[in-house]
Amino acid sequence: MAKREHFVGKADEFKDGDRRIVFVGDTEIGLFKNQGEFYAYSNTCLHQAGPACEGMIISKVEEKILPDGTSAGLYFSDTVTHFVCPWHGYEYNLKTGVCAADRRLRLRKYDVMQKDDGVYVIV
Amino acid sequence: MEMISDRDRRISVDELNTSRLLAHARKETSRRGLDDVLVIDVDAHHYENEHMREILPFIENDVQRQLALQSGGRTDRGGLLPGAVGYQDMGGRVTRFALRGSEKTDPGKHRDIQLGQRWMDAMSVDYSCLFPTGMLTVGLHPQPDVEVDLCWAYNRWITEKVLPESDGRFFSMLNLPMSEPDAALRTVETFGHRKGVTGFMITAVRHLPVHHNSLMKVYRAIEERGLALAFHSGVNWGENVFKGCNRFISVHALGFSFYNIIHCTNWVVNGMGERLPKLPVIWIESGLAWVPFLMQRLDHEYMMRSSECPLLRKKPSDYMRDMYYSSQPMEVQDMNLLESTFRAINAETQLLWSSDYPHWDFDLPTVVWDLPFLSEKAKHNIVGGNAARLFKLPPRNEKQQANLKRFGNPPG
């Protein structure tokens, strides 16, 4: 089936950190705006089909290991943001949709385009 | 509503509505036709600590009741129950914890019933066994008489105020104050006949020699009434052996299985299966991976140390296969291992699906329904047929009745 553009909203309606759930027929898509870019993913968690895009948005947790191998504790990444399925906490990379705990798993990603002053998801 | 993310960033989320949160669950269970299948959840929870003002007046002792009402009569545990360090909601990642208070219910029916029926309807669950949350730590209470008081008060409240409003969809296995065997016996004798009571539950987070002679009268009383005994596990970072753990995942992953491993070991090696042959025993909320581990360990040692288990007439694993296990949290990362586990525990007749909703690691019935190695009969049995037989629960529609008959489960 040929892909189609589905209008989501006007670009100036979205500020960084916003997210919107879009329904295209039976398909639910989570659209995020992050650092000026739009990302869209299937809103069905790979775990038990929860609403993957509807929960917390939070930076990835990292651990600092010093040259001598000791831990200097946990910290939030400055570069990697996750969105988290609210059912059980499955975390996904906001830029790629890759599952944080198992990089072989990835949410289906949808292309997003901006045309004129609108934001469209391609399904 | 806003949740606090990293660096104090605020994330906007909708206020909680369980039906909306679980809309995908409705879709998934509906797609699989689970409304035509009797689905029984043998482990679900409510937050009774939000209703302490209703519960505490049922405390019998005048002095304790006054103390409790004054210090614990707020909508939380106050100073009454042992607290525990833990991060069940992972800093808000599991949003329903923080948002719980925002969910609206209607006047009339008890709030916990309304909330419960929302998630039950979403998951296609027909009946659910309701357990407390805060009181799962009552076994750690330093005052045995207060444990007795709190269990009594909760048991009266739930059987008199909550279960009667559930249209028969909730049942419970009531909290036993195991620190005082006489009080535990009185609990069985008083509550064993009440509507909605299908058995009694031991909060497994405690140091308890379950085989102790003082407890036999309690087990006998449950067995005589045709009711079940459950061990409901939990987590306790204060347990000495876990004090070396620095992350909650470690304590949670190990703790739930740890307590039931100990109690099950004592139960089996002391021949409780021989002494109480008609008592159904259920091991709740420890997952399943621990069961084949324990079967193998005990069988191996029993073959060499049989003099220490003189009551046993068969292997420890055979006694374990006579008992029941709730499925949650089902460890599904290795299907081959899981299939072997199902075989080892005779899951087709002994496994009981459970959700543990609303706790953070709940399972949908699809976790069982979608297992590729299960027969249709096993699926029907595990999601509800086994529990229907055990707790004598009837089907709620004709298709469920037909399915029960089809797979040899007598309808109610």
∠ CA B174-B345-B273, nearest 5°, is 55
CA distance A55 to chain B (A): 7
Is B379 within a domain? yes
**A86 Cβ under 8 Å from any chain B Cβ:** yes
A55:B91 CB<8 A: no
In this complex, the residue of A57, A76, A89 whose CB is nearest that of residue B11 is: A57
Tell me how far apart the alpha carbons of residues B286 and B327 are, in angstroms, rounded to a whole number: 8
Chain B positions in Cβ-Cβ contact with residue A88 (cut-off 8 Å): 94, 360-362
Q: Does residue B142 have a cis peptide bond before it, meaning omega lies within 30 degrees of 0?
A: no
**Of B411 and B364, which is predicted with more confidence?**
B364
Is B68 within a domain? no
Tokens at B350, concatenated: 């002994």
Return the pLDDT at B11.
Answer: 85
Chain B positions in Cβ-Cβ contact with residue A84 (cut-off 8 Å): 93
At B209, which CATH number? 3.20.20.140
Residue ranges of chain B whose CB lies within 8 Å of a chain A CB? 3, 5-7, 9, 11, 13-14, 21, 23-25, 27-28, 90-96, 360-364, 366-367
ipTM of the complex: 0.95
Tell me how far apart the alpha carbons of residues B164 and B144 are, in angstroms, rounded to a whole number: 29
A91:B93 CB<8 A: yes
When scoring B8, B9, B93, B94 by the number of chain A Cβ atoms within 10 A, the one with the most, hence best to mutate, is B93
What's the rounded mean pLDDT across residues A53-66? 96
In this complex, the residue of B5, B25, B363 whose CB is nearest that of residue A58 is: B5
Is B102 within a domain? no
Chain A positions in Cβ-Cβ contact with residue B24 (cut-off 8 Å): 44, 49-51
Tell me how far apart the alpha carbons of residues B313 and B309 are, in angstroms, rounded to a whole number: 9
The predicted-structure confidence for B346-390, as pLDDT tens digits, reads as follows: 999 999 999 999 999 999 999 999 999 999 999 999 999 999 999
Chain A positions in Cβ-Cβ contact with residue B14 (cut-off 8 Å): 54
Expressed as residue numbers, the domain containing B394 is: 28-46+112-406
Q: What percent of chain B has pLDDT over 90?
A: 91
Whether residue B122 has pLDDT greater than 70: yes
Provide the pLDDT confidence category of residue B80 given band limits of 50, 70 and 90: confident
In this complex, the residue of B7, B14, B93 whose CB is nearest that of residue A56 is: B93
The predicted-structure confidence for B272-286, as pLDDT tens digits, reads as follows: 999 999 999 999 999
Answer whether A12's CB lies under 8 Å from A36's CB. Answer: no
Whether residue B257 has pLDDT greater than 60: yes
CA distance A16 to chain B (A): 11
Tell me how far apart the alpha carbons of residues B228 and B198 are, in angstroms, rounded to a whole number: 6
The predicted-structure confidence for B391-407, as pLDDT tens digits, reads as follows: 999 999 999 999 999 99
Return the pLDDT at B412.
Answer: 56
Answer whether A81's CB lies under 8 Å from A95's CB. Answer: yes
Q: How does the average pLDDT of chain B come out, rounded?
A: 95
The predicted-structure confidence for A61-103, as pLDDT tens digits, reads as follows: 999 999 999 999 999 999 999 999 999 999 999 999 999 999 9
CA B255 to chain centre: 15
A57:B90 CB<8 A: no
Question: In this predicted structure, which of A33-37, B4-8, B36-40 has the lowest mean pLDDT?
Answer: B4-8
Is B83 within a domain? no
Q: Nearest chain B Cα to A77, which residue?
A: B6
Return the pLDDT at B74.
Answer: 55
Return the pLDDT at B76.
Answer: 55
Is B18 within a domain? no
CA distance B222 to chain A (A): 36
CA distance B207 to chain A (A): 30
Whether residue B77 has pLDDT greater than 70: no
pTM of the shown model: 0.96
Return the pLDDT at B2.
Answer: 87
Return the pLDDT at B72.
Answer: 64
Interface of A with B in 90-109 (CB under 8 A): 91
**A21 Cβ under 8 Å from any chain B Cβ:** no
Chain B positions in Cβ-Cβ contact with residue A59 (cut-off 8 Å): 5-7
Q: Nearest chain B Cα to A73, which residue?
A: B246
Is B243 within a domain? yes
In this complex, the residue of A49, A58, A89 whose CB is nearest that of residue B94 is: A89
Whether residue B318 has pLDDT greater than 60: yes
Q: Which amino acid is at B197?
A: V
The predicted-structure confidence for B132-148, as pLDDT tens digits, reads as follows: 999 999 999 999 999 99
What's the rounded mean pLDDT across residues B10-39? 94
Is B12 within a domain? no
Tell me how far apart the alpha carbons of residues B50 and B157 are, in angstroms, rounded to a whole number: 13
The burial of B135, by beta-carbon neighbours within 10 Å (0-12 exposed, 13-18 middle, 19 or more buried), is given as buried
Total domains, chain B: 1
The predicted-structure confidence for B82-118, as pLDDT tens digits, reads as follows: 887 899 999 999 999 999 999 999 999 999 999 999 9
Is B1 within a domain? no
